[in-house]
Amino acid sequence: MKKMTGKLTDSHCHLHMDHYQKDRRKVIERARREGIALMVTIGIDLEDSQKALKLAEEEPDIFCTVGFHPHGAGRVTERDMEALEELAKGEKVIAIGETGLDYYRDLSPRETQRKVFMEQLELARSLGKPVVIHCRDAYRDLIRLMVEKRAQEVGGVIHCFSGDWEAAQTFLNMGFFLSFAGNITYPKAEKLREVFKKVPKDRLLMETDAPFLTPQEERGKRNEPAFIKYTYQLGSELKGIKLEDWIDQVNNNVHEAFPQLPNLHYNKRLS
């Protein structure tokens, strides 16, 4: 594989989670050696979000989001939401999330998922920060809520997009970015790759969702940010764009999606 440059961004990972407790420092160093200049570690509940922010505050090239994943929506209290609001004011918090709807596992009542999602959408609006949205088997309800709550005024990212082209168009029309993870490399993901080809190049992000969704080339291993090189490589091939130009494009997209994100270490390419 061609040597990557120093502009790679992993726009969605979970580096603060216990999966990396024994070797987190080595994982971060491997990512940097692979040319990753910026990583966004994503919170999924209050305690988890606190860990995400702590890691982000310790590392200059790591930023975070804070929020409540739909799986745990049933446990979210009013006090939790108040605590999240305070946490979200941190300088290294660039978005609210991972929030959204998940009707595949249904680990929280759907009505509660919708309520907690809408509360976080309004929190993002009040703070002037975008949202990072998770959706699985719930596109119809998610889109309905986003339209009702004028989500286009908030903006953000549909993380690990796995829907069809119709859903993609709806999110794009609302001004959202679509982020694709390692599952786009899987042999059976042809439909997803076709959707990727249709999305305008200036509306795409790349992510690992590490430690989950390991790319095909490393399948069977714990995922980590360094493996995003495979997703970038495939993305450039699907778009018919030189790898260096594709990396530049995604970098620009990341900063459009997350306006509070500063440019880090992007002045020169790595040899």
3-class SS string, 238-250: HHCCCHHHHHHHH
> Any alpha helices (H) in 4-148, and if so which ranges?
24-33, 46-58, 78-87, 110-127, 139-148
Share of the chain above pLDDT 70, in %: 94
Summarize pLDDT for 97-136 with one digit per residue, the tens.
999 999 999 999 999 999 999 999 999 999 999 999 999 9
User: pTM to 2 decimals?
Assistant: 0.95
The pLDDT of residue 173 is 98
61 DSSP 8-state letter: T
- 64-108 pLDDT, tens digit per residue, is 999 999 999 999 999 999 999 999 999 999 999 999 999 999 999
Give, in degrees to the nearest 5, the angle at Cα 156 between 151 and 158.
95
pLDDT (0 to 100) of residue 195: 99
Query: What CATH code is assigned to 8-257?
Result: 3.20.20.140
- List, in sequence order, the alpha helices (H) in 89-185: 110-127, 139-148, 165-173
Tens of pLDDT, residue by residue over 243-264, are 999 999 999 999 999 999 986 5
Domain ranges of the chain: 8-257
